[in-house]
Structure 1
Amino acid sequence: MLTIQARSRTIKRVILICGFRIHRSIQIPAKLRTDQFATANTMSGLLYSANISDGFLFNEAGSLLARYRAAHAAGFQYVECSQVAYQYNLDDLVAVLEETNLKQVLLNSFAGPNAGDLGQVVLDVPDEEFEAGIRRSIQYAKAIGTSNLHILAGKLPAGKSRSDVMRQYLRRLQWACKECLPRHVNVLIEPIGPFVSPDYFLNNYGTAVDVIGELDCRNLKILLDVFHFKQLHPTYDVIKWARTNRKLVGHIQVAQSPARNEPHAKGDIDYARILPQLGDLFPELYIGLEYKPSVPTQQSLADGKSAGNIFDYATP
């Protein structure tokens, strides 16, 4: 709790020191797109989404297009993926989604020419380059039918602190929200822990809450990744945080800690307790299975089903 609060106060001091004022005059459409009629077809009753990015589910199938088909064959209705999508022709992605009748519920933003940078918001690149990447991301999101775009912040540039780049982060993120809003696309921000990148800019959930408060954009939400939350705030109860910030959450992802493997595996996170509560708090939200299977994906899914109904991720 102290860590989250301390970071929250820091961002407000940073904004004051930078002398940067956030403009709040954003036009809001009557209603953003929501998936009010999404349904679960599993014993869990939860809206599980298969994350088919590199390193996660169904990678043994091969190409991203093959992973879509494998997810469909396994019984999933919903899928999500990272910037790997931008390596594929947009028409091919649209075609495979139509073929499988899968719904894409989340897409990561284009990360730039070097995917290892994990985004361009805080990078030393011209605004024109950053904006072109976001426009490309929106084009893909609209074509494949997702209303959730996770805009990756990027790694801290060498020699700079988070305070140094906060002003740029807020300015560019606000611009992205304005671009997405009339197109009915929600912008998601996700704090990422040291397991993935110790230099990632957004690394605190308290900071994410304050960013949303400062920008005051209706289409800006937090991607609650329970794995990253545990890595960043190991002593804080994620359910307590979720209840407090319920209206700010736009998507959920899960993986066990510390190995980032199956949620039903033994680890630091009690998913048998947490998942039902997340389902009660966020019945309309998708829960992305962004984990690294310790066995082939089909076996991982079968093991989950054997572990209990709450881990019934997909039903063929």
Structure 2
Amino acid sequence: MAPLRFAANVAWLFAAEEPGLAGRLEAAGRAGFRAAELGWDWLGQEAAALRGVGLETVLINTPPGDLDQGDKGLGAVPGRQPEFREGLALAVNYAKALACPRIHLMAGRIPPRAERAAVATTMEDTFIENLRYAADLLAQVGDMVGLLEPINSRITDPRYFLTTPHQAAAILEKVGRPNLRLQLDIFHCQIMDGNLTQNLETYFPLIGHIQIAQVPGRHEPDSPGEVNFPYLFQLLETLGYDGYVGCEYKPQGEPAPCTNHCVTGLVKTTYHTRCNIHVPGASALGSRINR
């Protein structure tokens, strides 16, 4: 079994000490990361920064729409198909420039004051239409995958349309395109459903990317919380997961000490006992956990 590989989500990590993308990427490299996830904030900006520090880009998002108007993605929003497609084209071009193989196709929110059940069918139909369009476009550019991420509606976003892996799997089945996959965030899955072992085993054939954070605080995996990450990491290895694990969490402490902690903590919780690894600091860890 190959050890897991971890990617720094620079929208979350290193944000306290580094306001710009280039600084965050440099900090991620110093911490031992060899790969990064980008949010929508950086689309079209400082692409050379990634190449400059030698990090692989493993995930970007489609643009969210108009944040001032409360948008958080447009994939499932009726009447916004032209905007979704325009944003998708931007994301695809950026992904091509970075050799990034995965794009998170953000679903979006149900309208304010709308009942979820009342708009569910219309929004799902819109999402399916847009996903088929996205799958066709991604197929034209080569080995690129579109991802659907369920986001919990209990803590993070009560109005987000796509909330559980079960809902995402059902939509993927209806769309029927092999280049669309599930982006499973352990944080969101635990909050909405629990049953992490069963969910990982059941949906493993659909999973194209995984992200992590402890529950409920959305902090480091080795911080106090509900999730037994050493067990889950070993399960992922047993299942044969060979992608990156995205570190999408807010490090505890200010200024954020994640330049050491986000890597050191992962190795301690995952491999320290099993592999008898000595963990003196992050500088010695990157080659082992990202090899």
| TM range, smaller chain | 0.7 to 0.9
Judge conservation of contact 1:192–1:202 (CA < 8 Å) in 2: yes
C-alpha change, 1:302 and 1:150, in structure 2 (3 Å) is: closer
Q: Which of 35, 58, 67 is the aligned partner of 1:78?
A: 35
Q: Specify the alignment match of 2:121 in structure 1.
A: 163
* 1:31-76 deviation line (CA, Å, top 9, x unaligned): xxxxxxxxx8xxxx211011101xx111112211211111111111
Q: Which of 236, 261, 266 is the aligned partner of 1:300?
A: 261
Quote how far apart the aligned CAs of 1:128 are: 2.0
Judge conservation of contact 2:4–2:242 (CA < 8 Å) in 1: no
Q: Specify the alignment match of 1:315 in structure 2.
A: 286
For 1:226, give the aligned amino acid: I
C-alpha change, 1:256 and 1:308, in structure 2 (3 Å) is: closer
For 1:105, give the aligned amino acid: V
- Alignment gaps of 5+ in structure 2: 273-278
Quote how far apart the aligned CAs of 1:309 are: 4.7
C-alpha change, 1:127 and 1:161, in structure 2 (3 Å) is: closer
Q: Specify the alignment match of 2:88 in structure 1.
A: 134
Identity %: 28
- Alignment gaps of 5+ in structure 1: 1-39
Question: How do 1:155-304 and structure 2 match up within 5 A?
Answer: 155-158=109-112, 159=114, 161-183=119-141, 184-194=143-153, 195-234=155-194, 236=195, 238-295=196-253, 296=256, 297-301=258-262, 304=265
1:152 equivalenced with 2:106 (yes/no): yes
Judge conservation of contact 1:50–1:80 (CA < 8 Å) in 2: yes
What number of residue pairs does the alignment pair up?
266
| C-alpha distance in structure 2 between counterparts of 1:141 and 1:169, whole Å | 21
Quote how far apart the aligned CAs of 1:279 are: 2.3
Give me the TM-score of the superposition, normalised by structure 1.
0.78
Q: CA RMSD in A?
A: 2.2
Judge conservation of contact 1:52–1:79 (CA < 8 Å) in 2: yes
C-alpha change, 1:300 and 1:168, in structure 2 (3 Å) is: same
Judge conservation of contact 2:77–2:110 (CA < 8 Å) in 1: yes
For 1:151, give the aligned amino acid: L
1:57 equivalenced with 2:17 (yes/no): no
For 2:164, give the aligned amino acid: N
For 2:191, give the aligned amino acid: Q
